[in-house]
Amino acid sequence: MRNIFAVPIRDQILIYAPLHNLAALVSPTLALRLRDLLASGEPAGDGPLGELVDLLRDEVTEPAPLQGEFVPSALGLLPTRGCNLACRYCGFIASEETQFVMSLEMARDAVNWYMDQVQRSGAPHAEIHFFGGEPFCVEAVIDLAVHLAQRRAAEIGCTLRFEVATNGTFSEARCYWTADNLDTVVLSFDGPADVQNLHRPYKDGSGSFDAIARNARILSEGANSVYFRACITEATVGRMPEIATWFCQEFRPDAVSFEPLQPTPWSDNAGLVPPDPWAFAHNFIAAAQILEAHGVRPVYAPAEIGARQVTFCPVGKDFVIVAPDGVLTACYLLRGEWEARGLDLRLGRMNTDQNGAVQIDPEAVESIRGFNVHNKLFCAGCFARWHCAGGCHVNHILGSQPGDYDRLCIQARIIALYNILHAMHHDELAHTWLQDHAALARSVWQASDRLADRDGTL
């Protein structure tokens, strides 16, 4: 029963059992009958209710945290924490860490270590991601890592995939190279010129729009996957449908991910504030419909109902990220950001004075695997727990009381519910539900969505 949820959608109840891959809309009376039958174990008889009970009585296995031997699932390289832009919301701007640049020796040793692990474990696939700062500020590290990993993968006989998260301001020649050599490009691109230049200027204050628009066009024509990642503020939330339309008319991304601004002292100084969550959810859904009509996948990561996971991100997935100073971490944020929250996300370190020997700390591995939704009691009764998994371990501070949802929970819950109704082809109902604020609020503000916790008022 703990993985069977019931959420009111206007005058019906959405029964949602993600681990059974099941969703059904029923009347409140039927939902209570369903609860009682499941709790009592009584025979449910034939007919649609009986079928539903039978399906929901199937045993399911909850996603589990990783256990046992540490085998890196992917390698992340941070060539530098520095960047050529000075985005108005970026928390990296003032960090001392931005001065560090990864040496070529460290990049070589990290790739060799990772590919050795792939070979030793017999994994059929290797995965290398580049993050920053702006990774293309140190192109030599990317070139070396790509060529070395390709050679090692050919020797081992495994497949290999590269992904980069970039601001997309590289030269035209580098853009063609990227289109030809990297499999997925996640491009931070906030929208038309006025938005992009306001949010994401160069350090001298000039706009970055022209460079990124040119490169977004080149990448759109390449064979690789291109995701646009747009940061949304209170000022741009109402423009999400317009931004989606413009992205589709001007470019050909495979997916567009909209993310609400994560406030920093720098965004506060620039007068940029996060969007209202209700407005974000409404506008995301309007934008999603436009994107889908153009064959572009809309993404709001915490509401991806296809996911079944215990952690939202690399943390807890044995993903190893190598920082320019040789520290191995589970999270790509600056160390100071997670330390400020009292977290230690170090997995080990590379010893550059010992031929790049890599030390993984087993206690750190255990501790970081513990960052998972099983340990987030706040999320225990949320229907989205196996999709959102509690969100970012650093920046999403969960409430102390069940149902004490913050703006991130509110928008994740609305968008996930919309995604479920859309997947069920109940778009008309989804539309009327979204227009009915009282009904929407009833869906959002349930302290527990578990069917077993629903009382006679359901």
Closest C-alpha among 346, 345, 348, 368 to residue 360: 348
- Distances, alpha carbon 74 to alpha carbons 130, 321, 324, 376, in Å: 11, 8, 17, 25
Does residue number 7 form part of the binding site for ligand SF4 (CB under 6 A)? no
Does residue number 413 form part of the binding site for ligand SF4 (CB under 6 A)? yes
Q: Write phi, then psi, for 305 (nearest 5 degrees).
A: -75, -10
Does residue number 385 form part of the binding site for ligand SF4 (CB under 6 A)? yes
Residues 6+ apart with CB under 8 A from 436: 10
Does residue number 379 form part of the binding site for ligand SF4 (CB under 6 A)? yes
Q: Which of 138, 156, 412, 415 binds ligand SF4 (CB under 6 A)?
A: 412
Cβ of residue 110: shortest distance to ligand SF4, in angstroms? 18
Does residue number 75 form part of the binding site for ligand SF4 (CB under 6 A)? no
Distance between CA atoms of residues 200 and 194, nearest Å: 10
Strands 74-77 and 255-260: unpaired
The distance from CA 338 to its chain's CA centroid, rounded to whole angstroms, is 17
Q: What is the DSSP string of 323-340?
A: -TTSEEESS-S-HHHHHH
Closest C-alpha among 241, 243, 239, 242 to residue 228: 243
Nearer to ligand SF4, 101 or 334 (CB): 334
Give one word for 298, left, alpha or beta, with left for phi > 0 and alpha for psi -120 to 50: beta
Q: Are 443 and 7 in contact (CB under 8 A)?
A: yes
Cβ of residue 347: shortest distance to ligand SF4, in angstroms? 12
Cβ of residue 115: shortest distance to ligand SF4, in angstroms? 23
Does residue number 382 form part of the binding site for ligand SF4 (CB under 6 A)? yes
Q: Which of 322, 409, 414, 417 binds ligand SF4 (CB under 6 A)?
A: 409
Cβ of residue 29: shortest distance to ligand SF4, in angstroms? 27
Does residue number 415 form part of the binding site for ligand SF4 (CB under 6 A)? no
Nearer to ligand SF4, 55 or 447 (CB): 447
Distance between CA atoms of residues 75 and 73, nearest Å: 7
Cβ of residue 323: shortest distance to ligand SF4, in angstroms? 13
Nearer to ligand SF4, 221 or 366 (CB): 366
Does residue number 78 form part of the binding site for ligand SF4 (CB under 6 A)? no
The DSSP symbol for 151 reads H
Distance between CA atoms of residues 96 and 336, nearest Å: 10
Q: How far apart are the first and last CA of the chain?
A: 16
Q: Which of 278, 332, 418, 433 binds ligand SF4 (CB under 6 A)?
A: 332
Closest C-alpha among 340, 341, 358 to residue 349: 358
Judged by CB under 6 A, the chain residues 280 through 309 that form the site for ligand SF4 are: 302
Span near ligand SF4 by CB under 6 A; candidates 193-201, 271-279, 391-399, 425-433: 391-399
Does residue number 430 form part of the binding site for ligand SF4 (CB under 6 A)? no
Does residue number 133 form part of the binding site for ligand SF4 (CB under 6 A)? no
Cβ of residue 223: shortest distance to ligand SF4, in angstroms? 28
Span near ligand SF4 by CB under 6 A; candidates 187-195, 214-222, 230-238, 380-388: 380-388
Q: Which of 392, 424, 429, 458 binds ligand SF4 (CB under 6 A)?
A: 392
Nearer to ligand SF4, 185 or 313 (CB): 313
Q: Which of 38, 272, 394, 415 binds ligand SF4 (CB under 6 A)?
A: 394
Span near ligand SF4 by CB under 6 A; candidates 72-80, 85-93, 281-289, 394-402: 394-402
Span near ligand SF4 by CB under 6 A; candidates 40-48, 250-258, 263-271, 408-416: 408-416
Q: Which of 132, 277, 298, 314 binds ligand SF4 (CB under 6 A)?
A: 314
Residues 6+ apart with CB under 8 A from 41: none
Does residue number 335 form part of the binding site for ligand SF4 (CB under 6 A)? no
Distance between CA atoms of residues 52 and 58, nearest Å: 10
Distance between CA atoms of residues 418 and 253, nearest Å: 23
The single residue listed with the structure tokens 């998972």 is 372
Q: How many CB atoms lie within 10 A of CB 434?
A: 19
Does residue number 156 form part of the binding site for ligand SF4 (CB under 6 A)? no
Residues found near ligand SF4 in the complex (CB under 6 A): 302, 312-315, 331-333, 378-379, 382, 384-385, 388, 390-395, 398, 405, 409, 412-413
